[in-house]
Structure 1
């Protein structure tokens, strides 16, 4: 005789639905604040892009906030040729491509030496390096010009790249030093006991581990180098050696009344740095958050 087991139907648990349906007021306030801040930051850039796509008749006839009646793509080609941005773009690319990786490599090597090598005056050297982050380079423009001019490097790539590296290394060393200090010393000590040199330990162990931080510093350094204006204005007096910010300044002085091409020139100037940030955004976020949680 078979026994019939009554089927028990479990009651649906609506607890998770109730919890999920509740809205944290603090979270809502944060989201609203973030949306407002994003709108504040994006509105000027959206206005510049919109103006760069308008004809001069649309700008003067319908106002700055109106939509374009026709897309004036020729503003970009006209600004590119009239402002001679091909030369300025090439100069910015050469300076950024050489300066940023070279500065990061020197900073990483210096940070490793200060963090993992037994130096007699290691703490004093670190203090001197950190002190370099507290000096604004604007107050050093006159001495920098005198020094660069004494070496005959005015209007040359090394004359700009070397000061850029000198003022970029202290901040990068400060960031990387703290990251290297957080790496367990057993990793490097085991490799050194096995006969590896410090350079091998740095190249095979520390560089792969700190790639997220290096990526974040790469983005920050690239954007600051690409947009740097004051030092380039002092050290680059020949127009053929100008970078994009200097070329944009010259274009604005000559064609300030042509709003469409002027805004197109602004878009072309800031677009490369924006693209680099968007491409490496996930590495940038991971680099900033690495080391924030220790497990």
Structure 2
């Protein structure tokens, strides 16, 4: 028996090894493609970081991707002071750290109510909310300005946070509604038998289960809010209320020839969003895939 089994096992192993070898060119091609794409995406960031650490003379005399011979950290100090980035950074932090958690909390509650609670015209309400994802906010800038101005909220934090919420919540409700819909009903029904209310079920079952989705939405919402420019330009007209993108625009207009400081300002503007992405990136793909699946 052993004499017949061994050759068969060897044949299967050889077949698997041969199949793996046949797949090698495909895998090599895939890796080459991924490396090329990574280089294309990383190259501008390398250029910006290297330039931010050079003097203007070094930028003119050295190659774009040549590391700085002498690291010039003063570019960051000078750009921070000359561009008044302490003010714009504080405004961006206040707006983003209020809007993002508040928007996620409102979206999670709305998605839970529409997915698991019996609401009259619930499907119609969901369709109306999802209609908000189809409207580009750029075409609504003039009406938004009129409404915000009529409430006297121009150059205020509520004046910019409320429109951000209005255009951010529908997409988040769509993703979270899809995720909540596939959670087994037995979990919530068992909790109801034990006397749990909807608030308790939402807080102890659905919120912990949706952490990957919430983390993915947090990344998207943080980056979009942190980098948003057009709506902030319309509503925040006082320089003392500007966010970082507006401050960077002003700095670029004043010091466009000082390449070292200009690129240092760019690095300081995008660094917080990059840090947030790196912290939560392991949840990003799994979270969006979970939210995109419907039962």
Number of residue pairs the alignment of both structures matches: 285
Residue 20 (structure 1) shift:
5.4
1:122-158 CA-to-partner distances (Å, cap 9, x unmatched) read 1101111111000000000011111111111111111
Instruction: Give the equivalent residue in structure 1 for 2:209.
Output: 209
1:67-86 pair list within 5 angstroms: 67-86=67-86
Q: Distance in 1 between matches of 2:217 and 2:250?
A: 30
The one-character-per-residue Cα deviations of 1:20-68 (angstroms, maximum 9, x if unpaired) are: 5554333322222211111111111111111111111111223434432
Please give the secondary structure, in 2, of the residue aligned with 1:106: helix
| Counterpart Cα distance in 1 of 2:66 and 2:175 | 46
Local SS of the residue matching 2:68:
coil
Q: What's the counterpart of residue 30 of structure 2?
A: 30
2:257 corresponds to: 257
CA distance in 2, matches of 1:80, 1:71: 17
Match of 1:125 in 2: 125
C-alpha distance in structure 2 between counterparts of 1:277 and 1:151, whole Å: 35
Cα distance in 1 for residues equivalent to 2:33 and 2:252: 35
Deviates more, 1:16-25 or 1:91-100: 16-25
Farther off after superposition, 13-22 or 34-43: 13-22
What RMSD, in angstroms, separates the aligned Cα atoms of the two structures?
2.0
Give the Cα–Cα distance (whole angstroms) in 2 for the partners of residues 292 and 244 of structure 1.
32
- Alpha-carbon separation, structure 1, partners of 2:242 and 2:85: 9
Q: Deviations over 1:235-266 (max 9, x none)?
A: 10111110000000000000000000000000
Structure 1 residue 49 and structure 2 residue 49: aligned? yes
Q: Does 1:267 align with 2:288?
A: no
Judged with a 3 Å threshold, the aligned counterparts in structure 2 of structure 1 residues 248 and 60 are, in CA distance, closer, same or farther, namely same
- SS of 2:134 mapped into structure 1: coil
Would you say the 8 A contact 2:92–2:244 is kept in 1? Answer: yes
Matched with 2:227 is 227
**Are 1:159 and 2:145 matched, yes or no?**
no
SS at match of 2:54: coil
Distance 1:292 1:213 in 2: 10
Seen in structure 2, the aligned counterparts of structure 1 residues 88 and 293 have a Cα distance that, compared at 3 Å, is closer
Give 1:62's aligned residue. Answer: 62
Separation (CA, whole Å) in 2 of partners of 1:238 and 1:153: 12
Decide which structure has greater helix share: 2
The 3-state SS of whatever aligns with 1:54 is coil
Distance 2:110 2:290 in 1: 20
Aligned to 1:278: 278
1:196 is aligned to 2:188 = no
For residues 110 and 248 of structure 1, what CA distance do their matches in structure 2 show?
Answer: 36
Q: 1:243-254 maps to which residues of 2 (within 5 A)? A: 243-254=243-254
Distance 1:291 1:134, change over 3 A: closer
Distance in 2, matches of 1:258 and 1:113, equals: 53
How many Å apart are 1:18 and its aligned residue? 5.6
Residue 111 of structure 1: how far off its partner (Å): 0.3
> CA 1:291 to 1:63, structure 2 compared with 1: closer, same or farther past 3 Å?
closer
Query: C-alpha separation between the residues in 2 aligned to 1:17 and 1:265?
Result: 53
Task: Structure 1 unaligned segments of length 5 or more: list them.
Answer: 1-9
> 1: CA distance between counterparts of 2:80 and 2:60?
22
Could you tell me which runs of 5 or more consecutive residues in structure 2 were left unpaired when the two chains were aligned.
1-5
Question: 1:7 corresponds to which residue?
Answer: none
Asked if 1:182 is matched to 2:182, the reply is: yes
